[in-house]
Structure 1
Amino acid sequence: MNRRTFLKKLLGSMLALVGLSGGTYYYAREIEPGMLAVKHETLASDKIPETFNGFKVAQFTDTHIGHHYSIEQFAELVDTINSQNPDLILFTGDLVDRPDQYHWSDELIELLRNLQADYGKYWIYGNHDHGGYGTDIVRQVMNKADFNLLQNKHTKIEAGNRRIVLAGIDDVMLGRPDLEATLANADSDLFTLLLAHEPDYADNTVQFPVDVQLSGHSHGGQVRLPFFGHLYTPLHAQNYVDGKHTFANSPLTLYVSRGIGTTRLPYRFLCRPELNLFTLQAENEQEHTS
């Protein structure tokens, strides 16, 4: 998006909010940003082994800590994630809003470390993680918190001697994503889950043997108006803004999370923040129980 288009969208968002009643403005700034929703989805596939039936994957993204999202709010999020008893925890980018200005402390590391999942915790870079000279700082913080970085690489998650593939690419905007290298030597017969911060990357993912892509970045638009929809989304989040998307002639399903925090403007309107919880299910088991 060029500067003129961005400023036009930004101005439109501000004018829309100013035009709302005082009560609605207060709601958009002070109330809805804290109204976290836990969104449940079932990932069903005949490539999912029966040993993974009921396996729970928690995705959180775009916390943007430091920009109208406090460490105290993040502590509440950690408690909420742990209360879901996930088997696997995934973070899909943008930990703090401005790494070069954020006051880094051991408190954030400890909170991230307190997240519990028997099958591990994994993360990928978002554009804000690379921005503001944050690449090394964020990596060190996540390493200390026992998160595993998937930067153009994949790993296998094993349950009962059966496996699925978990892959992650570098950030599209400020990194060097390479999905071909990411999936090199991966078994395409295994159920494959890809983490990609920017959702529009799915238009490239469809060319590869990936079953599900999990993304964030869009914030769902943050401000959505009736009959109009979202007012603005960032670059690489303009084709797929929110929710579930499927693709013709491809097994890929894309899920775009609205994320946790806010950026640029501290508002959410008709676009609640969300934590995403996915439950795996083998299709043959699904058929048997239906």
Structure 2
Amino acid sequence: MKQLSRRQFLKGAAGASILGFLATSCGYGYARYIEPRMIDTVSLTIQDAQLPASFDQFKIAQFSDVHLSDTFAAKNLEAIVQKINAASPDLIVFTGDLVDFQASSEEHEKAKAYLNKLHAPFGKLAIYGNHDYGPFGVELYEKTMEACGFTLCKNDVFLLEKDHAHIQIASLDDLMMSVPDYDLIKREVSTDLFTLLLVHEPDAALELKTTPINLQLSGHTHGGQVQLPFYGPILTAPYGRTYVEGIYGSDQHRIYVNRGLGTTRLPLRFLAKPELTFFTLTSRV
């Protein structure tokens, strides 16, 4: 009979404890109805000498993993949109998974009324998450985001200009449901320009270790959605097991993993609050 290691035993014991807690009416009520509504606003300054002076104090708003469903209905986007617009970002990015498997196509229509109200002078960008490829087909996601003024990006590298200076925006298609073109990113990304990479699954960074990405923005993991005290996530998502939440890396390749707004599979969050993230880029030392 195979013996459990001490780490496995402690993980199992902690998991049993927290599941027991969540099974109680109090614990379940918190994880089901309270924490999923406790939106954490995260503000970070990203300092990078490669950033052009004209982009100093450039602000980016990131939201991710809405997962429209009974748990996160389209009407919940109203408060999100208000918070983003109140911050006056220069650029807004959505890092995938607008829909969830349980969502109805009507929720897409309702979401348009709110997503249309997002404004940023340098535009709104969106990438594809694994849930955006089903169950209704990727065409519905594309029509929704395009109708709301988002530029859909996948397997692309292009320039963003401000006062005759440029930064690069790169994007990869979803790792789970499509084909990310790593070779294009490795080939087209210039080492002379500050590069922002948008990709739903954060572990894409493992394939781009030698590619100069100044800042990668991802989602997908929900921060584990349910975490254990002193341990972390009980379960992690495919392509989200190395980078789970928050900031990682260095100047060569910074990665930020947003915990997202909605839930999937289980309508619960515990020690993994939903979040909006605001980045201020600076070239100052």
Does 1:16 find its partner at 2:18?
yes
On the 8 A contact 2:247/2:255 being kept in 1, the answer is: yes
Amino acid of the structure 2 residue aligned with 1:265:
L
On the 8 A contact 2:186/2:208 being kept in 1, the answer is: no
**Residue 210 (structure 1) aligned to one of 186, 209, 213:** 213
Q: Distance in 2 between matches of 1:14 and 1:95?
A: 32
Corresponding residue of 1:152? 155
Q: Distance in 2 between matches of 1:183 and 1:146?
A: 29
Corresponding residue of 2:268? 267
- CA 104–25 in structure 1, closer or farther in 2 if over 3 Å, else same: closer
SS of the equivalent of 1:276 reads: strand
Q: Distance in 2 between matches of 1:94 and 1:154?
A: 21
**TM-score, normalisation: structure 2:** 0.89
Unaligned runs of 5+ in 1: 1-8
Does 1:45 find its partner at 2:40?
no
- CA 238–44 in structure 1, closer or farther in 2 if over 3 Å, else same: same
* Shift, 1:66, TM fit: 1.3
- CA 98–190 in structure 1, closer or farther in 2 if over 3 Å, else same: same
Bigger mean CA deviation after superposition, 18-27 or 203-212: 18-27
- What does 1:1-290 align with in structure 2 at a 5 Å threshold? 16-20=18-22, 21-98=24-101, 101-182=104-185, 184-246=187-249, 251-282=252-283, 285=284, 287=285
- CA 102–170 in structure 1, closer or farther in 2 if over 3 Å, else same: same
Q: Distance in 2 between matches of 1:196 and 1:99?
A: 24
Unaligned runs of 5+ in 2: 1-10
SS of the equivalent of 2:183 reads: helix
Q: Distance in 1 between matches of 2:175 and 2:34?
A: 32
* Shift, 1:235, TM fit: 0.8
- CA 183–135 in structure 1, closer or farther in 2 if over 3 Å, else same: farther
Cα-to-partner distance string for 1:85-117 (whole Å, 9 max, x where unaligned) = 110000000001028743245332231111000
Amino acid of the structure 2 residue aligned with 1:83:
A
Bigger mean CA deviation after superposition, 171-180 or 104-113: 104-113
Corresponding residue of 2:5? none
* Shift, 1:207, TM fit: 2.6
Alignment RMSD: 2.1
Q: Distance in 1 between matches of 2:229 and 2:16?
A: 16
Cα-to-partner distance string for 1:126-184 (whole Å, 9 max, x where unaligned) = 00001214211101111111100111002211111111111111000001100322465
